[in-house]
Structure 1
Amino acid sequence: MKRVISEPSQVIFIAAEVGNFEVLAELVRSYPDLAWEVDAENRSIIHIAVLHRHAAIFNLINEIRTIRNFVVTYEDDDQNNLLHCAAKLAPPSQLNLVSGAAFQMMHELRWYEEVKKYMPPCFVEKRNSNGKTPRELFTEEHTELLTKAESWMKSMAKSCMIVSTLIATEVFTAAFSIPHGDDDKNCNPIRNAIIFIIFAISDATALVSSSISILIFLSMLVIARYAEDDFFKSLRLKLIYGLVTLFISIISMMVAFSSAFFITYSNSIKWVPIFVSVLALAPITLFTFLLFPLWSDVVYSAYFCRSIFRPSKHVLYYVDG
């Protein structure tokens, strides 16, 4: 332990860099003064945690409140403050934890905004030794990622809009091609009133939801500016709403398709509509399975990403005096 005290950078700074929270927390819990140490470039463990995007270590700023004012105003050898650290591009190992350039951009913006909350107003626009404010540094560091994110988002919007257009075309045609039963004596489409109502509602739902999806994805292609801040909220919400309405339209289309078979063949071969209804579950299941990674990234970027900066309990059990 003498080596830990005499050479803290050998332990706490390496632990902060690699994200070994357990070791760092145990050391700070046992030796609180280690939290004040800086490395060879005059960076604290919080600065290093922000540079390498380790949220658990960054959250220590809420528990060791005696060093909060010190951390948010402290500058390294290049006059970079804590917000400058958040403005720098995350290491590839951290970026690759989130798939898709758009979600990586959202994650980077989340980090920048979370760190900004702790900064005094005068430090938000403070320039480093290269004359750059944190926001200018963020733009410079993320230029390539922003280009990739825009390309990824437009490609996704185009693909989803094509699918939504096909669904809208099919269900619009089906609305004016009301299925009839196979009873020649009484070709009444309302033979089975309940099933017919299901067909009408599901077909209308598919048409409306697919139309909404088309408009959302069209706005992403035509209206969206694809500025940095757009990825933080506007584009993320459009992607969520667009995918949700597309999913609803696929489910509704399959329900309308199945109910049409029930109306058409309910008086002859009864197992046919049942078999077709079971088959109709395949596209829904496949769509969910294939797009599950995308769904998980969307949910993570929208909800769980912000929760990592708000731990539910203290982990150091260290109460400053």
Structure 2
Amino acid sequence: MARVLKALHWIKISLWNLATIPAPFIKRSGESKLRHYYSLEFAKQALTEIKNGTSTPEILEYILTSGVVLDAASRGVFEIVDLCLKYFPELMWDTNFAKKLIIKVVEGRHIELFRLVNENYPIRYLAEDNYMDFDLMEAVTKWSSRCVSPDVSGAAFLMQRELQWFQAVEFRGFFSSKWQTYIENKKSYWEKFVEQREGLLKDAGQWMKDTSSSCSLVATLIITVAFAATFTVLGGNDGSKGIPIFLNKGSFMVFVVANALALFSSVTATLMFLAILTSRYASEDFLYSLPRKMILGLTFLFLSLAFMLVAFGSALMIVLSERLKWIYIPITLLAAIPIILFAILQLPLYVEMVGSTFRPHLYRPLKLWK
């Protein structure tokens, strides 16, 4: 049995080495994950030994004074903070440490850490200390290169993320920071927040304008084609009654319904993009208003493209079905290619926008004990 296990282990290693020869990045990725796994296991063992071999007050004093957890929180190392809070939940009993930890997390814009810490020590408790309120609001108001998160693509999403951070701190702290003023320059936190992000706001507005202009052009072309097809009846009309000749064919009904849906969807998409182009592009609009309009516009644009291709395919089937009975198979396959291509190209942007607008990670609860 031992020989069999040894042989299987040797085969597994050989196959892994063989697979990593043509693609070295696979080996580097595997080694990185392996180092991360063993580092986490080492941290668990170290904390277990420390907890069993040292008195709790001494180790708590060391953690509080050394700044290990605060440094890990500042760098966004979720695992270290999570392990320390699991092994030593007494850390959060120290009010000053808890408030400093939250401020470090907010300064670094670490979402998972924010969810973790806020679940164990809600931000609303900061209302007991006005000075900490000011420190927290300064942290969320300040703009720096650390605010640029790698998981956010584009200025519009980054502006939305910053607004979500501001809203999370403002709402959960139970104070209206828009009306609280700095003692020095007499500006509210909201005014300071907007002032420090003028460049980001300009880039986000330009992205919205460019995207809406490009999409509205496509939607307008679909409107033109669908509107013209409505009054140009396929196959002509009966000379005596004016009834379409292909009215009794199922393909003709598919053509009519798909063309009508394409027209309605493209008109709706154009209206959504027009609403974006005529927006005032205020800072708060990037939180819900503009993203929702963009989501609706992209949704109806995709539907209009799909319905237009269905109408085109059904029209070809009507014309060629008498000669080629099997023509619906290649038409269906060819019509699916543009739809799939559009979905592949636009789906990541669409999914990111929907998730960031309707279910942002920043507002999702995270339990400390798993």
TM-score normalised by length of structure 1: 0.84
Q: 1:316 to 1:47 in 2, by over 3 A?
A: farther
Q: 1:151 aligns with which of 195, 199, 206?
A: 206
- Give structure 2 stretches of 5+ with no counterpart: 1-49, 51-57, 237-242
| Amino acid in structure 2 at the alignment position of 1:314 | K
**2:367 maps to 1:310:** no
Instruction: Name the structure 1 match of 2:88.
Output: 31
Q: 1:242 to 1:106 in 2, by over 3 A?
A: same
Question: Contact 2:255 / 2:314 at 8 angstroms: preserved in 1?
Answer: yes
Question: Contact 2:119 / 2:368 at 8 angstroms: preserved in 1?
Answer: no
What is the alpha-carbon distance in structure 2 between the residues aligned to residue 143 and residue 73 of structure 1?
31
Q: 1:107 to 1:72 in 2, by over 3 A?
A: farther
Q: 1:73 to 1:127 in 2, by over 3 A?
A: farther
**2:178 maps to 1:127:** no
Question: Contact 1:189 / 1:196 at 8 angstroms: preserved in 2?
Answer: no
| Amino acid in structure 1 at the alignment position of 2:142 | K
Question: Contact 2:222 / 2:305 at 8 angstroms: preserved in 1?
Answer: yes
What is the alpha-carbon distance in structure 1 between the residues aligned to residue 234 and residue 159 of structure 2?
48
Question: Contact 2:226 / 2:262 at 8 angstroms: preserved in 1?
Answer: yes
Cα distance, 1:93 vs structure 2: 6.8
**2:78 maps to 1:21:** yes
Name the Cα RMSD after superposition. 2.8
Instruction: Name the structure 2 match of 1:180.
Output: 235
Instruction: Name the structure 2 match of 1:142.
Output: 197
Instruction: Name the structure 2 match of 1:265.
Output: 320
**2:195 maps to 1:195:** no
**2:155 maps to 1:98:** no
Instruction: Name the structure 2 match of 1:255.
Output: 310
1:25-64 to 2 correspondences below 5 Å: 25-35=82-92, 36=94, 44-59=100-115, 60-64=117-121
Question: Contact 2:262 / 2:305 at 8 angstroms: preserved in 1?
Answer: yes
Q: 1:277 to 1:189 in 2, by over 3 A?
A: farther
Question: Contact 1:72 / 1:119 at 8 angstroms: preserved in 2?
Answer: no
Instruction: Name the structure 2 match of 1:216.
Output: 272
- Richer in helix (by share): 2
**2:175 maps to 1:118:** no
Instruction: Name the structure 1 match of 2:332.
Output: 277
**2:144 maps to 1:87:** no
Deviation track 1:163-187 (CA, whole Å, cap 9, x = no partner) reads 0011111111222222229xxxxx9
Cα distance, 1:152 vs structure 2: 0.2
Greater shift, 27-36 or 283-292, is seen at 27-36
What is the alpha-carbon distance in structure 2 between the residues aligned to residue 165 and residue 172 of structure 1?
10
What is the alpha-carbon distance in structure 2 between the residues aligned to residue 256 and residue 269 of structure 1?
19
**2:65 maps to 1:11:** no
SS at match of 1:190: coil
What is the alpha-carbon distance in structure 2 between the residues aligned to residue 85 and residue 203 of structure 1?
53
Q: 1:219 to 1:123 in 2, by over 3 A?
A: closer
Question: Contact 1:44 / 1:71 at 8 angstroms: preserved in 2?
Answer: no
Cα distance, 1:68 vs structure 2: 5.0
SS at match of 2:281: coil
Q: How many residues align?
A: 304
Question: Contact 2:219 / 2:270 at 8 angstroms: preserved in 1?
Answer: yes
Instruction: Name the structure 2 match of 1:231.
Output: 286
**2:190 maps to 1:169:** no
What is the alpha-carbon distance in structure 1 between the residues aligned to residue 307 and residue 169 of structure 2?
43
- More relative contact order, 1 or 2 (CA 8 Å, 6+ apart): 1
Instruction: Name the structure 1 match of 2:345.
Output: 290
Q: 1:242 to 1:265 in 2, by over 3 A?
A: same
Q: 1:92 to 1:292 in 2, by over 3 A?
A: farther
What is the alpha-carbon distance in structure 1 between the residues aligned to residue 323 and residue 244 of structure 2?
15
Percent identity, please: 33
| Amino acid in structure 1 at the alignment position of 2:155 | A
